[in-house]
Structure 1
């Protein structure tokens, strides 16, 4: 009789124990659903590369920002094309539709994604102050004999990427200061400083 009672008590303890886990699991699922419902109306405002990818998210109504650090391999997407697009959108550049192309040609020619954008920002405020109908946002090929012009931004971007690689990166000019020595030798250093500032903005997500 006592043996039967012991077995019954043991079974009841197991039932209560398993029931507790089941109730806790249901509660956690319910809690996660509540959290997801509260964050479903948020949008990505900016990202950055480096050792981690920083995603700035803000409520679409209040725009109160919070930062979430996510490992790049966990995110599962390359942040760099997003950075280019967000940066160009921030400054209302006509290059926005060419964000993916800028990233792709930079990758194809083996240099960092930010160079084309940073130099365009320094030279023409991201094409907003480029010579009329030139599609030349980088100030190259502009001299007293005339201005280098392109039919459209796609041709300009492809040509400029090849030019950067051939005339600068292939010759070891791989920093704003070194590039400035040939690109804008009369500058007192402000050209390199500006380009570096724009690079840092994209790399750190501070735009």
Structure 2
């Protein structure tokens, strides 16, 4: 009588347990590596956007030199926000609530997107002061968990800061934390610490 060859139930259970243990070790590391790679990619996109927005801002500065009144200028003379999500929005302030669509914002977006080829796949926000780009934040969509920025990289921030940025989304994120000289966080209550 011949013996049947094959695996026993115990051997199969042991192999499945080993595979489960290995996958429990590998998948979190793989997920972390993928998120880090996506964030690096968005940081690179932000750097390209930073340079493209600076080029567009310089062109706009030359056009607006002829305009006397700051109120008539598209960018004004103070803080300026620009946001792109397939539609261009701009504000003559640093408050995201002031963002509004306009033909001037569309023209500004076209100048940036002519240089940056990923405009169709990227949502970004640019902060400009006195025709000088101060900071750029970008993601694949407004609620992307892997947001990139320039000149301050999101990879240099601690996990709590990155989590806050991801929760706010690109449109509502505060731009001060991305500047080279960041805005100081609000003072905490002495009694609560």
TM-score range, shorter-chain basis? 0.3 to 0.5
Give the structure-1-normalised TM-score: 0.31
Looking at both structures, which has the greater relative contact order when contacts are Cα pairs under 8 Å and sequence separation is at least 6? 2
Give the structure-2-normalised TM-score: 0.32
Query: Radius of gyration: which is bigger?
Result: 1
Q: Quick check: which one's helix share is greater?
A: 1
